Amino acid sequence: MPGPGYAFFGDEERDNVEQVLETWSRTTAAHSYPLGDLTQTRLFEQAAAHRLSSPYCLSVNSGTSALLTALAALGIGPGDEVIVPGYMYSACLAAIVYSGATPVLAEVDASLTLDPGDVRQRITGRTKALMPVHILGAACDLAALRRIAGEHGLLMLEDAAQACGGTYRGRPLGTFGQAGAFSLNMFKIITGGDGGFLLTSDERVFQRAYGFHDHGWFPYRREDGPGDRLWGLNLRMTELTAAVARAQLGRLDAVLARTRGLRDELLEQIPERDGMVRRYLHDADGDCASVLVYVFDERADAEAVAKRLGTKTLLHSPKHYYGGLPELPALAAPDGSSCPFRQPAEVWRRDGWRAGALPRTDDVLSRSLALTVGLSDTYLGADFGVNVFSGGDEIAEVAERFRETADEVLG
């Protein structure tokens, strides 16, 4: 079972999809897409903006597109540096690379998210933006990151792909910077099969994002309007995706209630102990609880527990750990010929990509183990745990196995 929302698929998703197919077969409405106010995409955007407390929402065809569109909308491009954590998803780096900007990796803190202290060390005259990633469903240190962004005049683009519905100090994630990007792929909190969206409170950012995602049109396909005329691509969400995503959005609270309930039961049965604590959270109440992460004092202990449970530590998270992305430095061939943007090798800071470049990130990931709560994703090291339909017996069994294994290893 991939993400928790996927497990909740039901009649509403089916009915919405049927409605789309019905409309298409009855009329020439496909023609009017994406103009109508009653299209599934528009209805989804309105519902998402409302649920996540944002003035503007734009649906797109993936979380990666949401990041790319947001970067374009924010005017980030060649010559700009974007600071991004070494534990993220490769799409974060790819979106920066394809915008022509340069990703600069920074350490994560005890919450496994962008470390504000290390961000300060990485700021240069070319730094344009921060891209904090609310990894594994939980918020970054947004207060500190906002302070730094304010002090240095930097933009902030939140990657909330894994944290839809999560909050920080009561406010939805994705609303703290100039833009927030979300994914609706199958492994996320809620899903449209694929798809994504972005939030912004800035009308101009929305206007530019709209143009970028739909052939340079002004919002809702007007020929003209206030703002910037852009070249755009086609990164639109389809009506069929929006039909499913809209139904899923209606389930967001139920999904989060379930994962949080399961998490509480697991926490109660797997208390912290000598040598093993829960991952630090900057806002425990706002955690989406798609996984439950324990951090061991010693790397060898985390590895031994993981091995006995048939899972892996977070250091072994393909596509999420910078040190496991060998193909990226390889892109920066000395003559630049293999790089999509032909950046000279030095701007890639090639040494910064090798495992060991972020020792604190390597250390904490090597000591961390994620228990599946509602999300099962081997790429995230979440391979052992419960699923959203697990009952009391199964929860107790999983908790006991984890607890006893930790006790055996830690003594």
Ligand X SMILES: *Cc1c(COP(=O)(O)O)cnc(C)c1O
Residue 214 CA to residue 61 CA, distance in Å, equals 11
Residue 10 CA to residue 98 CA, distance in Å, equals 37
Number of residues that bind ligand X (CB under 6 A): 14
> Whole-number minimum distance, CB 348 to ligand X, in Å?
21
376 is a contact residue toward ligand X (CB under 6 A): no
Binding ligand X by CB under 6 A: which of 183, 238, 248, 317? Answer: 183
39 is a contact residue toward ligand X (CB under 6 A): no
Is 188 catalytic? The answer is: yes
Measured from the CB atom, is 129 or 161 closer to ligand X?
Answer: 161
Task: Pick the stretch among 87-95, 262-270, 273-281, 368-376 that binds ligand X (CB under 6 A).
Answer: 87-95
Measured from the CB atom, is 212 or 402 closer to ligand X?
Answer: 212
For residue 135, give the 3-state DSSP assignment: helix
Task: Pick the stretch among 77-85, 157-165, 234-242, 350-358 that binds ligand X (CB under 6 A).
Answer: 157-165
Length of the chain: 411
Binding ligand X by CB under 6 A: which of 16, 113, 162, 390? Answer: 162
Binding ligand X by CB under 6 A: which of 39, 54, 59, 62? Answer: 62
Residue 358 CA to residue 108 CA, distance in Å, equals 9
Catalytic residue among 188, 307, 312, 319: 188
| Nearest C-alpha neighbor of 380 from the set 105, 136, 110, 93 | 136
212 is a contact residue toward ligand X (CB under 6 A): no
> Whole-number minimum distance, CB 301 to ligand X, in Å?
27
Binding mask of the shown chain, residues 306 to 325, with x at each position contacting ligand X by CB under 6 A: --------------------
> Whole-number minimum distance, CB 195 to ligand X, in Å?
7
- Determine contact, residues 297/276, Cβ cutoff 8 Å: yes
* Residue whose Cβ sits closest to ligand X: 63
> Whole-number minimum distance, CB 109 to ligand X, in Å?
16
Q: What stretches of 83-189 show up as alpha helix (H) in DSSP?
A: 90-98, 116-122, 142-152
For residue 74, give the 3-state DSSP assignment: coil
How would you label 227-261 residue by residue, b for 16+ Cβ within 10 Å and e otherwise? beebebbebbbbbbbbbbbbbbbbbbeebbebbbe
Binding mask of the shown chain, residues 355 to 374, with x at each position contacting ligand X by CB under 6 A: --------------------
5 backbone dihedrals φ, ψ, rounded to 5° = -65, -40
Residue 186 CA to residue 88 CA, distance in Å, equals 17
> Whole-number minimum distance, CB 184 to ligand X, in Å?
7
For 214, 230, 316, 372, the CA distances from 217, given in Å and listed in that order, are 6, 8, 43, 42
Task: Pick the stretch among 22-30, 37-45, 86-94, 120-128 that binds ligand X (CB under 6 A).
Answer: 86-94
Binding site for ligand X (CB under 6 A): 62-64, 88-89, 91-92, 133, 159, 161-162, 183, 185, 196
